[in-house]
Amino acid sequence: MSAFPTADVLVKGGRIWRGLGLPEASALALWKGRVLAAGTESDLSGLAGADTRLVDLRGRLAVPGFCDAHEHLIPIGLGLVELDFKPPRATAIAQIVDAVAAEARRLGPGAWIIGRGYDHFHLDVKRHPLREELDRAAPDNPVYIRRTCGHMGVANSRALTAAGIPEGVNDPPGGAFERRDGRLTGLVQERAQEVVYRVMPKPDRTNLIEAIERAGRHCLSQGLTSVVDAGVGLRAKFEEWFAYREARQTGRLPVRAYLSFTGGPDGALADARAAGLVTGIGDETMRVGPVKFWADGSAGGRTAAMSEPYRCCGGEKGMLCFEDREMEAMVAEVHAAGWQIAIHAIGDAAIGQAIVAIEKALKARPKPDARPRIEHCGFVTDRQIGEMKRLGIIPSPQPVFIHEFGDLYVDVLGEARSDASYPMRRWHHRGLRPAAGSDAPVSSDNPLIGLHVMVTRKTDRGRVLGSSETLPLADALHTYTANGAYSAFAEAERGTLEVGMLADLAVIDRDLFSVDPAGLLEAKVDLTILGGEVRYDRLGEL
Ligand SMILES: [Zn+2]
C-alpha cells in the first residue's frame, strides 16, 4: 500500500508554473483541497486511483490562481446591472443620453438611474456630461453617473434637488461641486459625492449577496481565486459585512476574500470595531483585512495630490482628503487597535503623507510584520520607494491603469512622470513586494491585461510608458499571485503551488511563456480550480 493517499484530482499534460523560483512541474496531485505532490506524470502515477479526476492540460499552462489585491467585489456585482458607460461602450455623449432616456422609460418617473464608467477623455465631446443633458434625457428621474475612476460623477437637477444641494452650496472639506458662470454643472467631486450617496437608494442585504455572488463568479471566469475587497462599506456601510458573512455561510461567496473596511468619518470601521472585528479574524475563505483610508483622488481626474502641478490646469496639484494631522491621528489609532493599515494614495504628495502617517504609527506602537499597504501608489518617487522598503510598506498597484489610462496620464502629467509611474521593476528589484490588482470595476479585472502591461508597459493605444519598468513574465506572475497572498498575510496557505498549499489554480489556453507578449492580451482562462474543485470551465471540457 502506498504511503500516500489517492489524489482527488490529477493535473497533467502541460506546463505547471508553481511560483517564482520553484521548479516547474508537468503534473500536480490535489487532495482534500490542497496540493499533495508535484512532479512528472510518471512520478505521480501511483497517486491516481479509480476515483481520481483527471485534468488534461493538453499543452496549456497552469499557474497558481490569481489574486486581485485591490478590487471592489460588491460594486463589481452591483455594476454588472447598472448602466455601463465604460469605453468602448460609450464614446459619444449621445450614447449616454440615449441610454439614460431608455432607462427612464423602463423604470418610470421618480426612480433613480445610476450609471458608471464614462471617461470624458474617450467621449467625442472631451468633457463630462452636463447636468442639462441628463435633465433632457430623464426630466422626471434623479440621475447620477460616475466617472470611471469613481472619484467624481455627474448629477442631474432632480438628483441635486433630492440631495438638497442648492445653487449656492458651499464645497465640503475634501470635495467640490463644479460651477460654471455661477451655476452648478452637475459634476460632483471627491467627498462632495457623499452628499449624493446619502440619498441614493441603498442596496439591501439580498441585493448585496446577489452582487457578491455575481461578481465572485465573474472573478472565477478571469482566473481569480482570491480577491482583496478594498473598501467594505463603500455602498452600504457595515451591512456589507453582514452580506459577506451570510454569503459565506450559504455558499454564495465564490472566491476567497480578504476584506478591507472603509475608515474615515463615513466608513464602516466604527461598526466593525463595535462588532469586535480586527485584522486576521476569519479563515482561508474569508478574513478581516485592513482599515482603508483615502489620502487623495485619481490622477486621470486630476484629484490625486501631487507635489508638482498638473500640466494642464493653471497650477493645480490635486487635493488631499485630510490634513496631515488628521490622517496621522486616524492611522495611529487604528494601528494601535491591531488593524493592518491600507491608505489609498496615488500622487506623490499623498504617498508622502501616507508614509509619514505609517512611520509615526509604527514608532508610537512598534509591531513587527505590520505589513502596511499603500493602495495604488502610482506616482511614487525614488526616495519614497526607499522609505517604503525601510518601513516594510507594501505597494498595491494596478498595472492595468497603464493600459487604460496611460495616455491620459501623459496628457495631464507629461511623459517623465507617466514613464516613472507604477514602477513595477524598481519595486520588485529593490525588494518590495508589489501586489498587483485591478481596482475593478474602475478597470478591467482581467489579470492577463495586467500581466501584459508589466511585460510591455504598453497603453491600449500602443504607447510604451517607461520601458525600463518592464518585468519578466515570471516576476509579473509573482506580483499577481504570491505577493497578493503576502499582502493578506496568507503566503503560508496560497499564492504558490508548493506541496501543502491550497489547490487554487488557473489554466490558461496557451503557454504564456512561449507566446509573443501580444498573445497575453488574446489569452483566455479555460479552467479555474479553487480548493481542488473546478469552479469555472470555459469550454465545458470536464
Ligand atoms: Zn479602489
Residue 533 DSSP SS3: strand
Q: Output the CA 71–ligand 1 centroid distance in Å.
A: 6
Q: How far is CA 336 from CA 276, 353, 430, 436, in A?
A: 15, 19, 29, 27
Answer for the pair 352, 387: CB distance below 8 angstroms, yes or no: no
The alpha carbon of 520 and the centre of ligand 1 are apart by a number of angstroms equal to: 24
Cα separation of 148 and 486, whole Å?
28
What strands, in cross-sheet order, belong to the sheet with 175-180? 83-84, 113-118, 143-147, 152-155, 183-190, 175-180
Read off the DSSP letter of residue 374.
Answer: E
CA–centroid distance, residue 17 to ligand 1 (Å):
29
What's the CA-to-centroid distance between 442 and ligand 1, angstroms? 7
Separation of CA 67 and ligand 1 centre (Å): 15
Spacing, Cα 230 to ligand 1 middle (Å):
6
Q: 270: CA distance to ligand 1 center in Å?
A: 20
CA of 70 to the centre of ligand 1 (A): 6
Q: How far is the CA of 72 from the centre of ligand 1 (A)?
A: 6
Query: How far is it, in rounded angstroms, from Cα 84 to Cα 454?
Result: 27
Distance from residue 7's CA to the centre of ligand 1 (Å): 39
Distance 376 CA to ligand 1 centre (A): 8
Ligand 1: distance of its center to the CA of 28 in Å?
35
Written as one letter, the residue type at 273 is R
CA 328 / ligand 1 centre spacing (Å): 21
Q: Which of 152, 146, 158, 157 is nearest to 171 (CA)?
A: 152
Contacts of 216 (CB under 8 A, 6+ apart): 73, 77, 252, 253, 254, 255, 257
Q: How many other C-beta atoms lie within 10 A of the C-beta of residue 506?
A: 26
| C-alpha 58 to ligand 1 mean position (Å) | 37
| CA of residue 138 to ligand 1 center, whole Å | 30
Closest CA to 214 of 310, 407, 73, 47: 73
**CA 150 to centroid of ligand 1, rounded, Å:** 8
Ligand 1 centroid to Cα of residue 488, in Å, is: 16
- Three-state DSSP state, 265: coil
Q: For residue 2, report the distance from its CA to the centre of ligand 1, in Å.
A: 49
pLDDT at residue number 369: 96
> Three cell numbers at 149?
475612476
Q: Is 51 exposed, middle or buried (0-12, 13-18, 19+ CB in 10 A)?
A: exposed
Indicate the length of the chain as a whole number: 542
- Say how many Å lie between the CA of residue 408 and the centre of ligand 1: 19
CB 416 within 8 A of CB 379: no
HEC states along 20-31? CCCCCEEEEEEE
CA of 291 to the centre of ligand 1 (A): 13
Nearest-5° angle of CA 203, CA 204, CA 210? Answer: 85
pTM recorded for the entire structure: 0.87
- What is the C-alpha to C-alpha distance for residues 179 and 531, in angstroms, rounded to an integer? 53
In angstroms, what is the span from residue 134 Cα to ligand 1's centroid? 27
d(CA 185, CA 161): 13
Q: What's the CA-to-centroid distance between 233 and ligand 1, angstroms?
A: 12
Calculate how far, in angstroms, residue 439's C-alpha sits from the geometric centre of ligand 1: 5
CB under 8 Å to 234, separation ≥6 — which residues?
Answer: 72, 74, 75, 240, 262
Q: Please report the pLDDT score of residue 4 as a whole number.
A: 67
Distance in Å, CA 440 to ligand 1 centroid = 7
Distance 404 CA to ligand 1 centre (A): 15
Cα of 110 vs centre of ligand 1, distance in Å, is 30
Distance from the CA of 147 to the center of ligand 1, in angstroms?
Answer: 13
Q: How far apart are CA 320 and CA 344, in angstroms?
A: 11
Alpha carbon of 443 to ligand 1 centroid (Å) = 10
Q: Tell how far the Cα of 152 is from the centroid of ligand 1, in angstroms.
A: 13
| C-alpha distances out from residue 327 to 292, 333, 335, Å | 11, 10, 12
CA distance 537 to 529: 9
Q: How far is the CA of 132 from the centre of ligand 1 (A)?
A: 30
What is the spatial distance between Cα 214 and Cα 24, in angstroms, rounded to a whole number?
34
Task: Quote the ligand 1 centre to 304 CA distance (angstroms).
Answer: 13
Give me the pLDDT at residue 134, please: 98
Residues 90 and 118 sit within 8 Å (Cβ to Cβ): yes
Residues 134, 408, 393: CA angle, nearest 5 degrees: 110
Task: Say what the pLDDT of residue 351 is.
Answer: 98
CA of 231 to the centre of ligand 1 (A): 7
Distance 228 CA to ligand 1 centre (A): 10
Please give the Cα distance from 424 to 455 (Å, whole number).
10
Return per-residue pLDDT of the chain as tens, 542 residues. Answer: 456 689 999 999 999 999 999 999 999 999 999 999 999 999 999 999 999 999 999 999 999 999 999 999 999 999 888 899 988 889 999 999 999 999 999 999 999 999 999 999 999 999 999 999 999 999 999 999 999 888 999 999 999 999 999 999 999 988 999 999 999 999 999 999 999 999 998 889 999 999 999 999 999 999 999 999 999 998 889 999 999 999 999 999 999 999 999 998 888 999 999 999 999 999 999 999 999 999 999 998 889 999 999 997 788 999 999 999 999 999 999 999 999 999 999 999 999 999 999 999 999 999 999 999 999 999 999 999 999 999 999 999 999 999 999 999 999 999 999 999 999 999 999 999 999 999 999 899 999 999 999 999 999 999 999 999 999 999 999 999 999 999 999 999 999 999 999 999 999 999 999 999 999 999 999 999 999 999 999 999 98
Give the Å distance between the CA of 112 and the centre of ligand 1. Answer: 24
* CA 37 / ligand 1 centre spacing (Å): 37
Tell me, what's the pLDDT at 80? 85
